[in-house]
Amino acid sequence: MSIRVAKTGNEAFAEAMRQINPDVVAAYPITPATEIVQIFSQFVADGIVKTEYIAVESEHSAMSACIGASAAGARTMTGTSSQGLALMWEMLYIAAGLRLPIIMSVVNRALSSPINIHCDHSDGMGARDSGWIQIFSENVQEAYDNIIQAVRIAEHPDVRLPVMATTDGFILSHCLEVAEFLDDDVVQKFVGDAPHRPNILDFENPITLGALDLQDYYFEHRRQVAEAMSKSIKAIDEIASEYEKLTGRRYDFFETYKLDDAEYAIILIGSTTGTAKDVVDELRSKGKKVGLMKIRVFRPFNYLKVRKALENVKVLGVMDRADGLNSFCGPLYSEICTSLYEANNRPLLMNFIYGLGGREVKEEDIENTFEHLFRAGKEGKTVNTVYIGVRE
Amino acid sequence: MPSIKDLAKREAKFVSGHRLCPGCGAGVVARHVMLAIDKPVVVGCATGCLEVSSTIFPYTSWATPFIHSAFENVAATISGAETAYRTLKKQGKIDKDVVFVAFGGDGGTYDIGLQSLSGAAERGHKMLYVCYNNQAYMNTGVQRSSATPRGASTTTSPAGKVIPGKVQFSKDIMSIMVAHYIPYAAQTIPGRWNDLVNKVEKATNADGLSFINVLSPCRLGWPHKPELAMEITRLAVETCLWPLYEVIDGKYKLNYKPKEKKPITEWFKLQGRFAHLLKPGNEHLLESIQQEVDRRWENLLKKCETN
C-alpha cells in the first residue's frame, strides 16, 4: 500500500527518515537543508521515533558524532548542504575509511565565495572522491526512493560505505510535488534490522577502530575501500530490483530519455532533467533526433554501462552544474570522457557549465545547448567549455 | 577508593607494547585512568602521541573497545558513541553499564578541539574527558599551544635573540570548563596516583561530562631526564604552577596546599625549555612569570575559600 501526497523535497527526506526510524541522528542546521532536521526533531520531540537526536554545534561535529554512533553499531543518519558538507570534508573521508554505513541527505547548494544559498552541485562534487556513494535525485519522488534504498546499500555486507542521497536546493527542497509514499511497515520491512557489524560496544570482541596505518598497511586498507566501491555496483542494482518489486519504480545508475536512436544528446544531473525532457520532446516534434541521459548514481560511476548507452550518439553535450576550475572542464565531463575513451564510436563531446548559484535554467537554455551540438555536428568540430546563461 | 594493591590486581585495559617514550607521562596517565574504572569502558582518543603510539596497526595497547577518528573531535565522536549506547540500552540491545572516556592532548583540547569539547559539555553527554596536558604539540614536534606556559621555548615559539620563548601565559581551561556548569572538573598529576585515581572515580560517577586536566611530562619537548618525570609533576604542584583541585557542581575544593611554596625556578631548572630564562639578564621575565603564578594561585585560594 502507498499514498499519493504533495510534499517538498525536505519533507520527503524527513518523512523517509521517520519511516526508517534510525537509532541516532546528529545534525546541524543549514539553508536549504534545515527543514529536514527541523521536521525530524519534532518527530523526536513527539516521541513517534525511537531516535536519539544530537543537536551538535557544527557540521564537523555532526559527522564526528555520526561516526561515533555508527561505530557503536547504531543505524545513523544526518543531513546537510553546501558549507556544511564542506566543513564535514575531513570526516567524510574518515567515515568511508572506517567503513561506516552512515546515511545522509544532502541538499545541493553552491559553495562560497561569494556566499549563495541556491542550487548547484559544487558541494556534492567536492565530496566525489571521499568514498561516499552519491545518488542524485531529479524530483521529490526520487529523493524519497533514493534515501530509503540508501540504507540498504550502505549496510550491504559487500559495501559498508556511507551513502548520500541528494536533492537540488530550493528547486526540489522547497517545491511541492506529488509523490507516492510507502506505508511505514513496508519501509520498515524493506530496510529491516541492520546486519551485524563489528562495533565498539562489543566487549567480548573489543576492537581498535581508527588505528594508525604506516607504509605497510595503509595502502591495503584503501584498496579495500576501492573494492567496496566497485562491489557496490552489484548491490545497488540488486537493491533497486527489490525496490522495483515493491513499488513498480525502476531505478538504474542513469536514466535515458529517447536516447536509443538519438544523434544528439545531453547528459545532466538533477532537477534540470525535467526541463530538458520537455525540450527533447519539442525538438523531436520538429524531427530532430535528440535524447538525453540523466546520471543518478555518480559514485560509483558505472563507466561500462554509460559507454554502452552513449557510443552510438554523434554529438554529446555534457552539462555540469559545477565548475571544475581546472582550466578545461566540469567534473561530469571528465567522467563521460573517461567512459567513452574505449568506445567503438567516440561521439564528439562538448562541455557546458550551467546554473551556478541557482541561475535559472530555461527551456531556451537547453535549446541553445542543443544548437551548439547541431553546429558542432555540422562543422565536425567542438568548442570547449561553453558557459550557458552567464553574462560575459 | 581502591588501594594500590587492589589496582594492581585489576585487569589492565591499557597494556604494554605501546611505543610511547620512556619517561612519557601519557602512558602512566592512560594506565591509571583505565585501572581506576572497574566497569566496561569505551575509549576515544584524539589524534596525538597517545593515539599514534598505542594503535600502530596491526597492534593495539587497548584491551577494551577504542575509537580514534580525527584530531579536533574526540568529544563529538564519543558524544555519538555514548548516544548510540543510550538508545541501544533503551531498546534492550545492550545491558551493561558502560563508561565512556575521551583522551585528548592539550592541542586537541585547549585549541583545535575546544569547540567540540564545549558542545559535548553543553549537551551533557555522560563521559570523562581527560586532557593529558604536556603543554605543547609534542606529536608534531614541540609546537606551542595555548597551554604552553610563558617563557617556554618551543619550535614555533623559540627562544631567540629578541623574543625569549612563548610570550603569552597559558589559557585557563579549567575555568572555561567550569563555566559550562559541568558536574565535575579536576586538575591532577600522574605523580600522585591516589589523587588521580580518586578523581577518575568521582568523574565517572558524575552525571554529565566531567573533565580532568592532567599534567603530563614530555621528555623530548620539555625536555627532562626520563627518570624525573613523576617528580617533575610533583614539583609543579609544590611550586603552585599546577595546583591539585577539583570543582564539584561548581564548588571549588583545594586538594593539597604546599607547606612551603617553592619558587618557579625550582621547576624550570629541571627542564631544557626554560634554560634560557635562567641565564643572567632574564630576571625580569622570571619575575613576571612568578607574579602571574602567584596571582592565579591566590585567585584559586579565594575561590576555594568562598566555598
Cβ within 8 Å, pair B77-A68: yes
Domains and CATH numbers, chain A: 2-247 (3.40.50.970), 254-388 (3.40.50.920)
Residues of chain B with pLDDT under 70: 307
Domains and CATH numbers, chain B: 4-306 (3.40.50.970)
Residue B58 sits at the chain A interface (C-beta within 8 Å): yes
How large is the average pLDDT for residues A310-330? 97
A-chain residues near B85 (CB < 8 A): 72, 201
A-chain residues near B42 (CB < 8 A): 72, 200-201
B-chain residues near A199 (CB < 8 A): 65
Query: SS3 sequence, chain A?
Result: CEEEEEECHHHHHHHHHHHHCCCEEEECCCCCCHHHHHHHHHHHHCCCCCCEEEECCCHHHHHHHHHHHHHCCCCEEEEECHHHHHHCHHHHHHHHHCCCCCEEEEEECCCCCCCCCCCCCHHHHHCCCCCCEEEECCCHHHHHHHHHHHHHHHHCCCCCCCEEEEEECCCCCCCCEEEEEECHHHHHHHHCCCCCCCCCCCCCCCCEECCECCCCCHHHHHHHHHHHHHHHHHHHHHHHHHHHHHHCCCCCCEEEECCCCCCEEEEECCCHHHHHHHHHHHHHHCCCCEEEEEECEEECCCHHHHHHHHCCCCEEEEEECCCCCCCCCCHHHHHHHHHHCCCCCCCEEEEEEECHHHCCCCHHHHHHHHHHHHHHHHHCCCCCCEEECCCC
Query: Each residue of B262-284: pLDDT tens digit?
Result: 999 999 999 999 999 999 999 99
Q: Which of A71, A206, A212 sits opposite B81 (nearest CB)?
A: A71
Residue A1 pLDDT exceeds 80:
no
pLDDT at B307 (0 to 100)? 66
Q: What is the mean pLDDT of chain A?
A: 97
Q: Which of B55, B80, B115 sits opposite A66 (nearest CB)?
A: B80
Q: Which of B69, B79, B83 sits opposite A94 (nearest CB)?
A: B69
Quick check: B85 and A54 in contact, CB under 8 A? no
Q: Which of A58, A72, A208 sits opposite B81 (nearest CB)?
A: A72
pLDDT at B76 (0 to 100)? 98
Neighbour tally for A219: CB within 10 Å: 10
Query: Each residue of A148-182: pLDDT tens digit?
Result: 999 999 999 999 999 999 999 999 999 999 999 99
pLDDT at A250 (0 to 100)? 96
Q: Which of A50, A65, A212 sits opposite B56 (nearest CB)?
A: A212
Q: Which of A52, A57, A200 sits opposite B42 (nearest CB)?
A: A200
Distance CA A15, CA A13 (A): 5
pLDDT at B123 (0 to 100)? 98
pTM over 0.95: yes
pLDDT at A384 (0 to 100)? 87
- pLDDT category at A205 given cuts 50, 70, 90 is very high
Quick check: B83 and B75 in contact, CB under 8 A? no
Q: Which of A23, A50, A202 sits opposite B65 (nearest CB)?
A: A202
3-state secondary structure of B234: helix
CA distance to partner chain B, nearest, from residue A26 (Å): 8
Residue B44 sits at the chain A interface (C-beta within 8 Å): yes
How large is the average pLDDT for residues A122-135? 98
The answer for A 169-228 residues in CB contact with B (under 8 A) is: 199-203, 206-214, 217
3-state secondary structure of B110: helix
CA distance to partner chain B, nearest, from residue A61 (Å): 5
Distance CA B118, CA B141 (A): 27
Cβ within 8 Å, pair A72-B85: yes
CA distance to partner chain B, nearest, from residue A352 (Å): 38
Residue B270 sits at the chain A interface (C-beta within 8 Å): no
Q: Which amino acid makes up residue A338?
A: T
Rg (chain A; Cα; Å)? 21
pLDDT at B306 (0 to 100)? 79
In A, minimum Cα distance to B46 occurs at A210
Name A265's bridge partners.
A291, A316
Burial B166-182 (b: 16+ CB within 10 A, else e): beebbbebbebbbebeb
Contacts of A6 (CB under 8 A, 6+ apart): A176, A177, A178, A179
If you ran DSSP here, which 8-state letter would residue B108 be given? Answer: I
Residue A90 sits at the chain B interface (C-beta within 8 Å): yes
CA distance to partner chain B, nearest, from residue A303 (Å): 32
B-chain residues near A94 (CB < 8 A): 69-70
Cβ within 8 Å, pair A201-B85: yes
